[in-house]
Amino acid sequence: MLERAEDAPAGIDAVKATGTVSKHDYEPVVEPLIDAARKEGRRIKLLYEIGPDFRSFTPGAGWEDLKVLGAMRLFEGCALVTDVGWIRESTRMMSFLMPCPVRVYGNEERAEALHWLASLPEGPGISHRARPRLRAPQRRRAAPPVDPSARPGVARPTRSPATHAPARRHRPHIRRPAVR
């Protein structure tokens, strides 16, 4: 079962998973949270708690999780609080695919998770992958010069871009006299 945790500070949305989480748990909890963020034009800082009384996810819940990934661009950050080993490790392995920073905390570290979410800067364009570029961006090449003797309105390159040799003109409609 999924439920909203009301004890989270303002600006942080908290969801708690207990027992068996099914597809029907996402509809009243997660979907309204995402819809509200879209309507308000705000980004989501999510605290996702999976407590010791959690049992499992149903396949339908896994499918709903994948659908939530489509809205991940709305997320400013996500903190997962759990002591369930397989969930901790799979989240760590997949966190690099997320467009927002993701951190994993133990059940005793909930206060630290809330503090980390509150410390995230707000606003679009903030990324956890802010690294310097390894190579300089390539400049665009200028358009090849146009042959003025070509038909009006049709631009033809004077040199072949691959070999830098003069471009051949092929005009099948012009007959050339036979050479003897």
Structure-token pair, residue 172: 């099948």
What are the extents of the domains in the chain? Answer: 2-119
Average pLDDT, integer, range 110-117: 94
pLDDT (tens digit, 9 = 90+) per residue, 127-145?
A: 444 444 456 566 666 666 6
Structure-token pair, residue 175: 């007959």
Q: Is 129 exposed, middle or buried (0-12, 13-18, 19+ CB in 10 A)?
A: exposed
In this structure, how many other beta carbons lie within 10 angstroms of the beta carbon of residue 113?
Answer: 23
CB 114 within 8 A of CB 12: yes
What is the C-alpha separation between 46 and 49, in angstroms, rounded? Answer: 10
pLDDT given for residue 118 in this prediction: 92
Which CATH number, 3.30.750.24, 3.40.109.10, 3.30.2130.10, 3.20.20.60, labels domain 2-119? 3.30.750.24
- How far does the chain reach from its first CA to its final CA, in angstroms? 92
With left for phi above 0 and alpha for psi between -120 and 50, is residue 58 left, alpha or beta?
A: beta
The better pLDDT of the pair 24, 173 is held by 24
Radius of gyration over alpha carbons of the chain, in Å? 29
**How high does pLDDT run on average in the chain?**
78
pLDDT (tens digit, 9 = 90+) per residue, 5-46?
A: 888 888 899 999 999 888 888 889 888 888 888 899 889 999
